[in-house]
Structure 1
């Protein structure tokens, strides 16, 4: 099988919009690459099935970016075979210390654990949620703070991860001592990958392929939603019905230039308990009003 590799360079502040615009083409995830010589720029790489029309895709992307008022510095495309594609995106993923003494290790990478740290091993041939992104780190920090506050009471808490992807935040929750774990994702491939990663890490988690409103009928004490602004705007009212009365909600995926846009959706029904900022990204711990 062959793949079309499409790479775009544009302003970093457009990251949230770019991931949304790429969503139709991103069945195999989106790679975000920093440009050392241009810190205000970001390179985005997406892999598309080679049965698609390469030039038509590039024309469609240019049109979408123009409509979204995002200036593209460059757009390039190449045809890759299966092995080249597999090696191409894997090179970007390295072991990451997500919390003190807790390492996220890609399954295809070696890690010399000389300090006897806790290891979570993530494998994925579809998405790239392996712990290196600012939003994942911030969610992990707030999750750790939640666990410290709850103490032994976490044994009875249900943790729900919305848009679970590779299941990474559920696996972090397990390492922190939460045992009642549920992940949900509308993408069937992501749900399957989360099940594989949970099994490979000996974590007992329920993974649901489906829609939050209709396919999760319980309530959770702690809910995590590391998404982007557009789905958060839709889901924030629904999440309130899925959270216990005194429960905690952690949300992330909010970039600087869309901060003001999401705030009315937060303040209408939620009280901000904590806000973390890392780079251009904002992460919140919320409680229902």
Structure 2
């Protein structure tokens, strides 16, 4: 499948509102190019300016802040793009102070192979939580500092471990998972959370995603890490009763790094599929929706164990 690269032009102040708009339209991953970041870099490295290419400085200082997203080059992707453009027009109408920039888009077509490999230069090993070191397969780690090395090649799937929501879930898994726990991963993406759970000793029985390619990528990544992550089921369990039934129950832990509306809708199903005393870890939630998620979880019989925040993102751990 080819992909449409959509560039949304905004300002540093507009990043938050645009992020919220994208999540509301089902987009969880993006590339951020913030002009303010380069200015901050120049301030911090002023004594080394002789080593900074002048053409690069001019280019970056003229750069407009933008977020880049990737949508499938299909009818579904075209509809999603149209919805995003309409939402941007509504956002622009609310921006009475004109603080959020042009809020317009440009698009280019990206081939599958470019999508999968073009970002490699930016993906380097980094620590997550108390005990993990995330790395791509083409990098080496000389000193893992006693951490478990989790090797991940996300390809076109969401989940390199760099996003706040993924890291919040991984840290919650470190606290929640006990060896032998039966685990369900809803919205598995690259498989990184299922793999992390398996490395912690969980019996990962089921992974679910709406994209068949994600399930293939997740199993390939599990093989790289010498762990099993169970069967993969493809579809939308919120709208497909048979899939919801096929997922089964009796899970000790469910991890769901997905959007707020889906978590709210699935809250009763999560409660039904967990054993008594089981743990739900969920994230992918803008903080402004956190109270709605909390209310839905409590209505479904969950007791909130923790609510961790990072900038605009939240993660809940809840006990049935």
TM, length-normalised to structure 2: 0.74
State the distance in 2 between where 1:242 and 1:31 align. 32
Structure 2 CA distance, aligned partners of 1:79 and 1:130? Answer: 23
Indicate the residue corresponding to 1:88 in structure 2: 118
**Are the aligned partners of 2:184 and 2:206 in contact in 1 as well (CA < 8 Å)?**
yes
In structure 2, the residue corresponding to 1:45 is in which secondary structure? Answer: strand
Contact 1:32/1:43 (CA < 8 Å) preserved in 2?
Answer: yes
Match of 1:155, SS state, is coil
- Secondary structure of 1:273's partner? strand
> Could you say which structure has the higher strand fraction?
1
Q: 1:217 and 1:2 mapped to 2: Cα distance?
A: 34
Instruction: Provide the residue aligned with 1:150 in structure 2.
Output: none
Distance 2:153 2:190 in 1: 8
Query: Hey, what's the Cα distance between the residues in 2 that align with 1:256 and 1:174?
Result: 29
Q: CA RMSD, aligned part only? A: 3.1
- Counterpart mapping for 1:196-207 below 5 A: 196-207=220-231
- Correspondence for 2:105 among 60, 75, 84: 75
Note the residue ranges of structure 1 that are not aligned, 5 or more in a row. 24-28, 148-153
Match in the other structure for 2:187: 163
1:244 and 1:206 mapped to 2: Cα distance? 19
Paired residues in the alignment total 273
Going from structure 1 to structure 2, the CA distance change for 1:94 and 1:8 (only over 3 Å counts) comes to farther
Structure 2: 5+ residue runs without aligned partners? 41-64, 96-101, 238-242
> Matched residue of 1:208: which SS?
strand
CA radius of gyration, larger in: 2
Residues 262 and 67 (structure 1 numbering): CA distance in 2 closer, same or farther, change over 3 Å?
farther
Cα distance, 1:44–1:266 mapped onto 2, change above 3 Å: farther
Conserved in 2, the CA contact under 8 Å of 1:220 and 1:242?
Answer: yes
Q: Counterparts in 2 of 1:88-237, with a 5 A limit?
A: 88-107=118-137, 109-115=138-144, 117-147=147-177, 154-210=178-234, 211=237, 213-237=244-268
Residue 110 of structure 1 and its aligned partner are, at CA, apart by 1.3
Contact 1:158/1:221 (8 A) holds in 2 = yes
TM-score (norm 1): 0.81
1:18 aligns with 2:17: no
CA drift at 1:275: 1.2
Q: What is the CA–CA distance in structure 2 between the aligned matches of 1:157 and 1:233, rounded to whole Å? A: 24
Shift in CA distance, 83/271, structure 1 to aligned 2, threshold 3 Å: closer
- Whether the aligned pair in 2 keeps the contact of 1:31 and 1:128 (CA below 8 Å) is no
Question: Alignment partner for residue 312 of structure 2, among 274, 280, 287?
Answer: 280
CA distance in 1, matches of 2:67, 2:163: 14
Local SS of the residue matching 2:157: coil
Inter-partner Cα distance in structure 2 for 1:55 and 1:214: 31
CA distance in 1: counterparts of 2:246 and 2:196, whole angstroms: 23
TM alignment of 1:259-274, pairs within 5 A: 259-269=290-300, 270-274=302-306
Please say if residues 256 and 283 of structure 2, whose CA atoms lie closer than 8 Å, have aligned partners that are also in contact.
yes
Rate the CA distance shift 1:99–1:139 in 2: closer, same or farther, 3 A. same
- Is the aligned partner of 1:8 residue 2:8? yes
- Tell me which residue corresponds to 1:33: 32
Instruction: Give how far 1:145 is off.
Output: 1.1
